[in-house]
Amino acid sequence: DKGVETVVGFMGAVYAGCAYAQLNLRHPAPRVRAMLETLDTPIVVTDRAHLAQLEGIEPPARILLIEELEETPPDAPALAAVRAQMIDADPLYVNFTSGSTGTPKGVVVCHRNVCEFIPCFAETFAITENDVLANQAPFDFDVSVKDIYSTLKTGATMQIIPKKLFSFPMPLMDYLDDRKVTTLTWAVSALCIISMLKGFRYKVPSSIRRVMFSGEVMPVKQLNYWREYLPDAMYVNLYGPTEITCNCTYYILDREFAEDEMIPIGDAFPNERVFLLDEEDHLLTEAGTLGEICVSGTALALGYYRNWEKTKEYFVQNPLNHRYLEPIYRTGDLGRYDESGQLYYVTRK
C-alpha cells in the first residue's frame, strides 16, 4: 500500500539505476496480469504484510521483501558503476493508463521529464519547505508524482491521507486541520466528495492556501462551495495526460464563475508548447473551432513500454515542422479558444 516505505522502495529502485511501477493489487486480476506481462519479468518488491497477496501471481515474478533489502549492506562499487552510466533520458517510472479505451498502456517517464516539470510546478505555485501537501492520489496515478517530487524538491512535508477518510468528511476535516495542510493537489472527484457531503459545515481547515484539481472537468457548483468557505485560497485548474508528465497547462482562477460556465485550462507551463490541430493537421488559432490538443517540449514521455504500435500512433513528428525532428504527443482531447485566447478542454476526440 502507499506509504513512506513505498517511497523508500521507489527511491531505492532509482538509486540502483532502475525504473519503478506501482502494482496495485486492488485492481482486477486481468489488469494486474496485463501490467506484469507488459513489464516483462519485473522484480516485485513488497513487504511481509502483503506477501500472501502475491501467491499464485501470473506471470510469476521474482519477489523481494523490503524488510530484507533494508538490512542488506549496499554494494558500493556496483552502485557506483551503474550510476556512472546513468543519463537523464533513462526511465524513472512506468505509470499505466486507465485502460478505458482498451488494454492499459505503460507510460514511460524519464528523469529529465520530472526534473524539468517539478521545479516549474513548485515555482509557479510558490511551494516551499514551509508547506504541507496532503496526498490524496494513489501512487499508481500520476497526480501523486506532484505530491512526492514537489516534497522532495522543496523540502516540504507530505501527509499521506488514509483512503478511508474520504468516506468520512468530519475525520478528514480534522486530519487536514490538525496537520496544518496548506496544499491540495487532488482529483476533481475527491474535492466533490467534500462539497457534496457538506464537509465544511463541520470544520474549515484554516491553513489551506492552494486547491489544485485535475483529471476531469470541475463542476462550477462544487467549486463554488469550496470558494465560499475558503475564499482566500488559490484555485488552479490543471490539465494534462500522463504522457506529458502530469500537466501541460494551468489556469489560476481570477474571477467568479457561473454554474453554466466552463473553466479554462489556461496557459502552458514553461518549456511546454500546447496547440490545436484540425483534422488535416493545420494549426488552429481562431476562436470557437474545435481542434486536437497537442503538446511538445521536454516533458513528453518516452512512449509506451513495449508497445511500439501505440507509441507510433500518439507520439509523432510535429506535422507543422518539416525541417528537423520535433516529437509531439497527440492527446486525443478536443479543445477550443475563446475570443480572448483562453484555451478550453471540450471532450475526447
| H/E segment holding residue 308 | helix 308-314
What rounded mean pLDDT belongs to the chain?
Answer: 95
Tell me how far apart the 2 most distant CA atoms of the chain are, in Å.
62
Edge-to-edge strands, sheet with 303-304: 91-96, 106-110, 303-304
Note the pLDDT tens digit of each residue in 118-156: 999 999 999 999 999 999 999 999 999 999 999 999 999
Alpha-helix runs per DSSP H in 89-231: 111-124, 143-154, 169-178, 188-196, 220-229
Residue 304 and residue 108 in contact, taking contact as beta carbons nearer than 8 Å = yes
Strand 267-268 and strand 343-348: the pairing is unpaired
Q: How much is the pLDDT for 104?
A: 86
Residue 117 and residue 300 in contact, taking contact as beta carbons nearer than 8 Å = no
Residue 60 identity: P
Q: How much is the pLDDT for 27?
A: 87
- Residue scoring higher pLDDT (261 or 100): 261
Given a cut of 90, is residue 103 above it in pLDDT?
Answer: no
Q: How much is the pLDDT for 327?
A: 97
Q: What percent of the chain has pLDDT over 90?
A: 89
Query: What global pTM score does this model have?
Result: 0.94
Q: How much is the pLDDT for 250?
A: 98
Residue 307 identity: N
Q: What mean pLDDT do residues 111-123 have?
A: 97
pLDDT-derived band at 53 (thresholds 50, 70, 90) equals confident
Q: From CA 239, how far away is CA 188, in angstroms rounded?
A: 11
Other C-beta atoms closer than 10 Å to the C-beta of 131 total 23
Q: How much is the pLDDT for 285?
A: 96
Residue 87 and residue 78 in contact, taking contact as beta carbons nearer than 8 Å = no
For 161-178, give the secondary structure using H, E and C.
CCHHHHHCHHHHHHHHHH
Note the pLDDT tens digit of each residue in 172-225: 999 999 999 999 999 999 999 999 999 999 999 999 999 999 989 999 999 999
Q: How much is the pLDDT for 60?
A: 79
Residue 348 and residue 333 in contact, taking contact as beta carbons nearer than 8 Å = yes
pLDDT-derived band at 29 (thresholds 50, 70, 90) equals confident
Given a cut of 80, is residue 102 above it in pLDDT?
Answer: no
Edge-to-edge strands, sheet with 234-239: 157-160, 132-135, 183-187, 210-214, 234-239, 249-252, 267-268
Note the pLDDT tens digit of each residue in 296-313: 999 999 999 999 999 999
pLDDT-derived band at 54 (thresholds 50, 70, 90) equals confident
Q: How much is the pLDDT for 110?
A: 98
Alpha-helix runs per DSSP H in 219-294: 220-229
Note the pLDDT tens digit of each residue in 280-289: 999 999 999 9
Q: How much is the pLDDT for 101?
A: 62
